[in-house]
Amino acid sequence: MSEKIYDVPAEWASRAFVDDAKYRQMYERSVTDPTGFWAEHAKRVDWIKAPTKIDNWSFAPGNVSIKWFEDGVLNAAYNCIDRHLDKRGDQVAIIWEGDDPSQSRSITYRELHDEVCKFANILRNRNVGKGDRVTIYLPMIPEAAFAMLACARIGAIHSVVFAGFSPDSLAGRINDCNSKIVITADEGLRGGRKVPLKANVDAALKKCEGVDWVMVVKRTGAAVEMDDVRDFWYHEAAEVVTTECPVEHMHAEDPLFILYTSGSTGQPKGVLHTTGGYLVFASMTHQYVFDYHDGDIYWCTADVGWVTGHSYILYGPLANGATTLMFEGVPNYPTNSRFWEVIDKHKVNIFYTAPTAIRALMQAGDEPVKKTSRKSLRLLGSVGEPINPEAWEWYHRVVGEDRCPIVDTWWQTETGGILITPLPGATKLKPGSATRPFFGVVPEILDPEGNVLEGECTGNLCLARSWPGQMRTVYGDHARFEQTYFSAYKGKYFTGDGCRRDTDGFYWITGRVDDVINVSGHRMGTAEVESSLVAHPKVSEAAVVGYPHDIKGQGIYAYVTLMAGEEPTEELRKELVAWVRKDIGPIASPDLIQFAPGLPKTRSGKIMRRILRKIAEDEPSSLGDTSTLADPAVVDDLVEHRQNKH
Ligand code: PRX
C-alpha cells in the first residue's frame, strides 16, 4: 500500500462545488436525515409530478424491497434532452469520435432531440411501448445513445448487450427478458478490425423464438443478409418518421433498463434499474465526483455495453446538460497516443478510464503521452478494478502532469452509480484508495461471522443502507436478488468485495472475495467459464480461478481434466481457448490452461479453490492445510505443472 498523500490543490478547494468542510456537513446530513437530504436533491431532475414519498426500503430477510421517490412521475429522456433545449439547444451534447481518427461528429441537444424522437417513433411504429424489452447490440456509435434514449422516451426497457459478446451469450440475454426487438449494426469497427454484428444476431436468433423485429444501423456498409419480414434498416425507417415524439409518463419505480452481469453462480443475471432514483443518483454523482461545470468537455472511455457507459457516458452527463464524448475505438489504435490525441482534438477537461488501459499505456512508455499537449485536462478518473499505486502515480505524474487530481471511483453494476470516491475539491488522495463514501452511502466492513468491524480493519464490504441508484431486483427472479446480495449478512447489502479501512477512515478495495474475477475491468463469473469448458466433448471437469496479471489486473487460469483417453496437447489447449472465446466472447478467453489429471477435492467432493488460487498465483509454498483432501497427491502434480511459474 502506498503511504503517499496528495492534498487537495488550493485552486480546487476554492472552485469546486464541495470542499472538505462542505463534504462533511453534507455527508452528515445525508445519513442523519436521509429523507430530507434526498427530498432536496431529488429536485435536480424535472418531475411531471414531484415525489412526496422519498425513501421506502427494507433489507430484511425474505422481504427485501427498495423504493425511492415512489409517487413521483418523470421521464428520463425528457430530463436528458428536452429540458435543456431552451437554454442549450445549440450546445453540443455528444461528441462522437470514430475508430478512424479522421471521423468525428458533434450532436447538439437540438439534434439529439430530433434523432431520439425519430428513433422512438420507429420503435412505436413497431408496437414497442411501455414495459417492452428492447435488446441493443450496437458498437459505440451515436445510434447506441439514440436507441437507449428512445427506449427511455417511450417507456421501453433497454437491455444493452456488449458488442463483444458471442451469439450464444446474446441469445441467452434476449431470451431471459423476452425482447421482441433487437437493434444492431451491419458491423462494428474497433482498432481497425470489423466485428460481424448482424451475422452474430442472425446466429443468436436461431435460438430465440420471440423476436419480431431486427433493426439494423448501417455502420461499415458491409453486405449483410436481411430477412424480408423481420429485418429492416434504420436509415430507411428514419426517413418516414417525424422529429416529434411525446414522452411517456413514467413512475419513479418503473424500470428504465436491464443490464446483465456475471455473478458467482449460474448464468448472468439481469440487473434491473428503475427511473427516478437512478437518474437522481447518476446525475448527482456525475456532477459532484467529476465536479462538472457548464462548458466542461467530459470523456468517459467506457463502452455503453457496461454500466459505466450507462451512468457516466449517457444518463448522468446528459441529465446535467453536459458535453459528453463517445469513443468508438481503442486506446492503442492507430497508435499509443490515441487517447491523448483525442483529448487535444476535443479539448477534454475531465477524463475517466480504467486501470487496465492505464497499465497498458504505461508499458508503452512516456513518449506517446508526452508528445501531446493535454493542457485542457483538469481531472482524471479511474473505475472498474483496483488501481495499483504504480499505475496511479504514472497517471498522475505523466498524464496529468501533477496538476490533475484522480478520482478513483468504486461502484458496481448493481449500485447504479459511484459509492466510494474522492471529491476533487474535498478529499486528499492516497494512491490505490477509493477514499470516502459518497453522500448517503454507509459502508460497513464485516468479518466472516457477520460482526461489524470498527476503526482500522479488513473484511468484507457491505452497505448498511439503501441509496437511490441501487438495483431493485434481478429481472424475473426476486428470490435470486435476495439470495445473492442479502443472505450472507442479514439486513445488509453484500458487495462481494473485500475492503480495508485505514486509520483516516479511508477505504481500500482489495478485490472480489467471491467467485467473480475482474479481467481488464470486465466482470466474469468463474462458473460461466467452467460450464463453457465442460461443454467441450473432450473435457470432463474444469475449475477456473483468477491470477494476478500485469495488464489485465486478473487473468483467467483454467484447470482442465480431460476425458479418459484424451491427450493433453498444445493443439487442444488452443482449441479450448477458441472454444470459450466463441461460446462466451473474447473477454472470457482463458489466459492459461493447465491440464490436470485430478482436482483437489474434499472427501465430500467439493473442489478446494483456495488451493487452486494459490497455485495459479505461483505461491505453492502457502497452500495451507491439504490434509483434508480426498487425495493430497493431486496437489503435487498441480504444483509441478503450474503454468504461471516465475
Ligand atoms: O470488484 C469491484 C470492481 O468491479 C466490480 C464491479 O464490476 P462491474 O459491476 O462490472 O462494474 C464496473 C464499473 C463500476 C466491483 O465489485 N471495482 C469497480 N470499481 C473499482 C473496483 N475495484 C476497486 N476500485 C475501484 N475503483
Answer yes or no: is 394 a known binding residue: no
What is the residue with the minimal CA distance to atom 26 of ligand 1?
A: 410
As annotated, the residues of the chain forming the CATH 3.30.300.30 domain(s) are: 520-641
pLDDT at 241: 98
Residues with Cβ within 8 Å of 570's Cβ and at least 6 positions away in sequence, in order, are none
Q: Which residue, chain included where needed, has cell 467529476?
A: 290
**DSSP label at 247?**
P
Q: Are strands 452-453 and 443-446 parallel, antiparallel or unpaired?
A: antiparallel
> Ligand 1: which of 306, 358, 385 to mutate, most ligand atoms within 8 Å of CB?
385
Instruction: Report the phi/psi class of residue 196: left, alpha or beta, with left for phi > 0 and alpha for psi in -120 to 50.
Output: beta
| Ligand 1 center to 383 CA (angstroms) | 7
Tell me which residue of 28, 15, 3 sits closest to 428, measured CA to CA. Answer: 3
Q: Would the pLDDT of 46 be above 60?
A: yes
Mean pLDDT over 218-247 rounds to 98
Strand segments (E) across 443-550: 443-446, 452-453, 457-463, 473-474, 493-501, 507-512, 516-519, 522-525, 539-549
What is the residue with the minimal CA distance to atom 12 of ligand 1?
A: 384
Where do runs of H (alpha helix) occur along 522-566?
526-534
Quote ipTM for the complex: 0.99
What is the residue with the minimal CA distance to atom 23 of ligand 1?
A: 386
What residues flank ligand 1, with Cβ below 6 Å? 261, 307-308, 382-386, 408-413, 434, 495-497, 509, 511-512, 518, 523
Cα angle value 175/177/180 (rounded, 5°): 75
CATH dotted code for 10-482+494-500: 3.40.50.12780
pLDDT at 586: 94
Q: Which three cell numbers stand for residue 530?
A: 467452467
Reported confidence tier of residue 1, pLDDT bands at 50, 70, 90: low
What is the residue with the minimal CA distance to atom 7 of ligand 1?
A: 412
What is the residue with the minimal CA distance to atom 21 of ligand 1?
A: 385
In this structure, are residues 264 and 514 in contact, taking their beta carbons and an 8 Å threshold?
A: yes
pLDDT at 576: 98
As annotated, the residues of the chain forming the CATH 3.40.50.12780 domain(s) are: 10-482+494-500
What is the residue with the minimal CA distance to atom 25 of ligand 1?
A: 410
Q: Could you give the CA distance from residue 528 to residue 510 in angstroms, rounded to a whole number?
A: 23
Mean pLDDT over 202-212 rounds to 97
CATH of 520-641, one of 3.30.300.30, 3.40.50.150, 3.40.50.1860, 3.90.45.10: 3.30.300.30
Answer yes or no: is 523 a known binding residue: yes
| Main-chain dihedrals φ then ψ at residue 58, nearest 5 degrees | -145, 135
Reported confidence tier of residue 116, pLDDT bands at 50, 70, 90: very high
Q: Which three cell numbers stand for residue 88?
A: 442549450
Residues with Cβ within 8 Å of 211's Cβ and at least 6 positions away in sequence, in order, are 174, 179, 180, 181, 182, 205, 230
Mean pLDDT over 568-586 rounds to 97
The letter for the amino acid at 49 is K
Q: What is the pLDDT of residues 583-637, one digit of tens each?
A: 999 999 999 999 999 999 988 888 999 999 999 999 999 888 888 888 888 999 9
| Ligand 1 center to 303 CA (angstroms) | 15
Q: What is the pLDDT of residues 311-342, one digit of tens each?
A: 999 999 999 999 999 999 999 999 999 999 99
> Ligand 1: which of 273, 285, 383 to mutate, most ligand atoms within 8 Å of CB?
383
In this structure, are residues 177 and 475 in contact, taking their beta carbons and an 8 Å threshold?
A: yes
Q: What is the pLDDT of residues 248-268, one digit of tens each?
A: 999 999 999 999 999 888 789
Q: Which three cell numbers stand for residue 440?
A: 448517503
Answer yes or no: is 384 a known binding residue: yes
Residues with Cβ within 8 Å of 163's Cβ and at least 6 positions away in sequence, in order, are 137, 138, 139, 188, 195, 197, 303, 305
pLDDT at 391: 97
Mean pLDDT of the chain: 97
Mean pLDDT over 448-452 rounds to 96
Q: Would the pLDDT of 41 be above 90?
A: yes
Query: Greater confidence, 621 or 114?
Result: 114
Percent of the chain surpassing pLDDT 90: 95
